[in-house]
Structure 1
């Protein structure tokens, strides 16, 4: 019998049925709680119901559910019947949904009632679809989850599956063509828990942990789902929108012990003007997605006595490099490789580079949590590898002590006047200025220099804009903080920056606008 994460969660439920599994809070302050025992029985009910209507091992199911307790129940139930889960963000539009259904030959959609219209519009051109299940209000043409399960058995239900069965197909954008369906197998949660899912996030049994990622992305499976439930913790879920003061208030009010948030969320919380009024008691704090600025790390250490530890991973793998709790933090570094020999820096020919040389961040084929390929796309799967190494698309270097340092996406690296410059080191310098809230740096074409550094800056107070005087002030600031050749020759003040749903800045959009 292969590994099944849902079965492992049931074991926890049998040992501590009354332990709180999920505490969900909406923006109006209404709380909903579910214990491990309730999570076990409710996922059993749904698994029995899905099996009864004909969903079986290997069937692919698209899930369109926002943050909340239902997402935990649905994911566990689908794993119990051996299905292949296809996570979908609530932000997907009709064409995005259509692409996933047609590409993966989806058999069933489970959607929140507010998201059903995007599916209804493309039903006629998706012949693989057979079942439509809705969470929340009843909708015409959809079977409500509540009525489907109300008379169903509470008996344990979990099929026999193999480790190699495909558990997740998580779609991620490619530089060309449609989104790529990243395949992970049923043994993946076990490998994730054996590394970063336990020793990086560091959830202890019974602890209240808040991982802010939303369903629809692999990062939600990483932390809110597998890392917390797999370690018998309690998942805190907030369904309201992000506001830095509100987040800090909730961490204080509920006594949250662990926090896993995006760099953007940390940056904006660190910039709150009255930060000293909040009394947080975080035991552990981690971040992934993009490197954290030293200013943010120093602020959380000074104000809350907690080191925010960075980590690095991708949809195609798991947490690959991280700052573990027993490793001295080096601000700006992603940390050290979790499984020695599986992550390295290589050149264009797939040869490992010496320390302190910038190259491709690459993952060896033998990494136990590396993806199984892109669904129905052998060509792009093969292109992702260079010999025995999977090329992440990120550039970085490794120092003599084994710490990895992120330099940017392969297409984000700036070469100006012969200097190779990572955008993060310029951004890190800029956000240290007290007037800067956020920024992004890209290469901008220049006749004389090939490219110059161009910065897009969000100010903490928009009224601070004083044209060239503030621009000169920021340029001189960067020259003082870092090497003069990293000074942005062009600075533009903006109200917002384009980002992915996980908080990563989309520098490609800024470059495209700059080249128009």
Structure 2
């Protein structure tokens, strides 16, 4: 926080979509923002209409909407007209197999064109889209599909065979599995390509009430099952507005959001926001590779780039020379999200690219960017920035079942938001009590600890609970512990996140063995392999330590906080409820 402020480029700031933060904040209203959408007759709305179909009337249908780059580097362009036709075919496929408005359609795919067609085609039909990471193992898939009552799953032959076939009989609500590479050889599945070929390229967008459910995104808690955050069609107001204000997006931009749509960022800003604005978006099928990324930035003439701190740290590791060897002069705005962006990365990017990464903050529950560093204001390295126009943020302290505002500057409290923005989650699916606990004293309580300085910039301090953030993934310890407990040698498990220079955090598990089992390197590797098979490599622990006993409260709850304090050499705090322990 003592680092030198990176002053705004005044010439660029004057041309920004929001040239004056204070003026925009004073005059902004969500009603005015909603009025900027095309909408549908009778006050109806549909995200797919705003993202795609409206572009026919405004004359932009033949503009490139999506440029997909395959693993071998070959680009394929899809115009807005192409996506309108493909999503219409998919919507007709859903109708032909009996899928109705409000029913859940899940995807388990990598970043392939079919994923984007599935997302927008599902919304066009008025059904609910729920993306899952292709790296998930069977158990995360099962739990998410059980909670959401998934009726349709769109995936590949390989992913179905490895991750879904074995749990299919535990998913009675799953009626259809559509394989993008199906050939009719796998029982209980359908060939999506054949269905799409036979479907009509015309489909009238389903008119939806703005409060109708559109998206279901899962986020993990520290205990219990994953939470299904419900978002509605009206959220598109925030998607478009925040894309314009926080990311400075314009119709003439070539925009690259590197996030996978399995993560809320990859849906809100990797699909919806750029298409509603009318930009061209880049999608890369391959995983991170520094040289490849710089080549894409140069060759595709990317103008706005949105990525994650983990990726930025990996680019830093690759060295500045790799970046300077490329012509990246087309880039005019860079932003970051997923976990706090360390000040060193902000300063590094300013030195290497001639501009800083603009960090921003939001959650699965908020549905869109809430706090950001904007093109028209100074950047304080390490700060989240200031709340968006239309967003009232504060620092509060919980007390006696309520909250009190923390008015003093640079005093740690819980980051809280006044409810009412369009992309605010409307529920945790089937968990009303869990949802209600998020709202206290007229605030939405984020669970994140933060501070606010004298100029209104917010500073992230840490998570109030135990959720682990690893390379952009939110990982609930309970999910990992449950998978490890299935192993025959395991008696107890406690899981925490530990700092990692590249990923932000990695998952570490503390394991107590059953009698008759002894710790060994072979057993450690077996447990890691077991977890990877159950959970997938993105969620499974990277490290395992054996302990004779784990610290527990008298009620039997393993004290993860104590495990983390000892791992990091931090104060242990109150241990009055500690019953059993062996360091």
TM bucket normalised to smaller: 0.7 to 0.9
1:422-441 superposed matches below 5 A? none
Pairing partner for 2:446 from 388, 392, 414: 392
Give distance in 1, aligned partners of 2:562 and 2:280.
Answer: 38
Give distance in 2, aligned partners of 1:509 and 1:326.
Answer: 43
Structure 2 counterpart SS, 1:310: strand
Structure 1 position 258 matched with structure 2 position 304: yes
Structure 1 position 337 matched with structure 2 position 379: no
1:56-71 superposed matches below 5 A? 56-71=100-115
Give distance in 1, aligned partners of 2:390 and 2:454.
Answer: 15
Report the alpha carbon displacement of residue 512 of structure 1 after superposing the two structures with TM.
Answer: 8.4
Report the alpha carbon displacement of residue 207 of structure 1 after superposing the two structures with TM.
Answer: 1.8
Pairing partner for 1:10 from 47, 53, 57: 53
Structure 2 counterpart SS, 1:150: helix
Report the alpha carbon displacement of residue 198 of structure 1 after superposing the two structures with TM.
Answer: 1.8
**Which residue of structure 1 aligns with residue 189 of structure 2?**
142
Q: Tell me, yes or no, if the aligned pair for 2:231 and 2:426 is still in contact at 8 Å.
A: yes
- TM-score for the superposition, normalised by structure 1: 0.79
**Which residue of structure 1 aligns with residue 204 of structure 2?**
157
Comparing 246-255 and 261-270, the one that deviates more: 246-255
**Which residue of structure 2 aligns with residue 287 of structure 1?**
336
1:178-257 superposed matches below 5 A? 178-194=225-241, 196-257=242-303
Q: Tell me, yes or no, if the aligned pair for 2:153 and 2:176 is still in contact at 8 Å.
A: yes
**Residue 340 to residue 16, structure 1, CA distance change in 2 (3 Å):** closer
Structure 1 position 320 matched with structure 2 position 350: no
Structure 1 position 126 matched with structure 2 position 171: yes
Q: Deviations over 1:242-285 (max 9, x none)?
A: 12232122212222111101011112213323243233121110
Report the alpha carbon displacement of residue 13 of structure 1 after superposing the two structures with TM.
Answer: 4.1
Report the alpha carbon displacement of residue 510 of structure 1 after superposing the two structures with TM.
Answer: 8.3
**Which residue of structure 1 aligns with residue 214 of structure 2?**
167
- TM-score for the superposition, normalised by structure 2: 0.70
Structure 2 counterpart SS, 1:86: strand
**Residue 69 to residue 457, structure 1, CA distance change in 2 (3 Å):** closer
Structure 2 counterpart SS, 1:96: helix
Give distance in 2, aligned partners of 1:456 and 1:49.
Answer: 46
Ranges of 4+ aligned residues in structure 1 off by more than 6 Å? 505-510
1:87-106 superposed matches below 5 A? 87-106=131-150
**Residue 154 to residue 123, structure 1, CA distance change in 2 (3 Å):** same
Structure 1 position 302 matched with structure 2 position 351: yes
**Which residue of structure 1 aligns with residue 404 of structure 2?**
351
Q: Deviations over 1:302-349 (max 9, x none)?
A: 222222111000000121100111122111111100035522111113
**Which residue of structure 2 aligns with residue 277 of structure 1?**
325
> Which structure carries more relative contact order (alpha carbon 8 Å, separation 6+)?
2
Structure 2 counterpart SS, 1:347: strand
Give distance in 1, aligned partners of 2:454 and 2:333.
Answer: 27
Q: Tell me, yes or no, if the aligned pair for 2:362 and 2:370 is still in contact at 8 Å.
A: yes
Mark the runs of 5 or more structure 1 residues left unpaired by the alignment. Answer: 414-453, 460-498
Pairing partner for 1:177 from 220, 224, 229: 224
Structure 2 counterpart SS, 1:260: strand
Q: Deviations over 1:389-442 (max 9, x none)?
A: 1211111011121111111112479xxxxxxxxxxxxxxxxxxxxxxxxxxxxx
Q: Tell me, yes or no, if the aligned pair for 1:47 and 1:157 is still in contact at 8 Å.
A: no
Give distance in 2, aligned partners of 1:224 and 1:258.
Answer: 12
Q: Tell me, yes or no, if the aligned pair for 1:2 and 1:187 is still in contact at 8 Å.
A: no
Give distance in 2, aligned partners of 1:23 and 1:305.
Answer: 26
**Which residue of structure 1 aligns with residue 67 of structure 2?**
23
Structure 2 counterpart SS, 1:210: strand
Pairing partner for 1:375 from 419, 429, 434: 429
1:35-50 superposed matches below 5 A? 35-50=79-94
Structure 1 position 362 matched with structure 2 position 416: yes
Report the alpha carbon displacement of residue 384 of structure 1 after superposing the two structures with TM.
Answer: 2.0
**Which residue of structure 2 aligns with residue 426 of structure 1?**
none
Q: Tell me, yes or no, if the aligned pair for 1:134 and 1:144 is still in contact at 8 Å.
A: yes
Mark the runs of 5 or more structure 2 residues left unpaired by the alignment. Answer: 1-42, 468-496, 503-535, 544-559, 569-582
Report the alpha carbon displacement of residue 192 of structure 1 after superposing the two structures with TM.
Answer: 2.3
Pairing partner for 2:126 from 82, 103, 108: 82
Q: Tell me, yes or no, if the aligned pair for 1:342 and 1:367 is still in contact at 8 Å.
A: no
Report the alpha carbon displacement of residue 455 of structure 1 after superposing the two structures with TM.
Answer: 8.4
Structure 2 counterpart SS, 1:171: strand
**Which residue of structure 2 aligns with residue 467 of structure 1?**
none
Structure 2 counterpart SS, 1:102: helix
Structure 2 counterpart SS, 1:402: coil
Give distance in 2, aligned partners of 1:239 and 1:21.
Answer: 16
**Residue 501 to residue 370, structure 1, CA distance change in 2 (3 Å):** farther
Q: Tell me, yes or no, if the aligned pair for 1:244 and 1:268 is still in contact at 8 Å.
A: yes
**Residue 134 to residue 512, structure 1, CA distance change in 2 (3 Å):** farther
Give distance in 2, aligned partners of 1:203 and 1:406.
Answer: 25
Instruction: Output the aligned Cα RMSD.
Output: 2.6
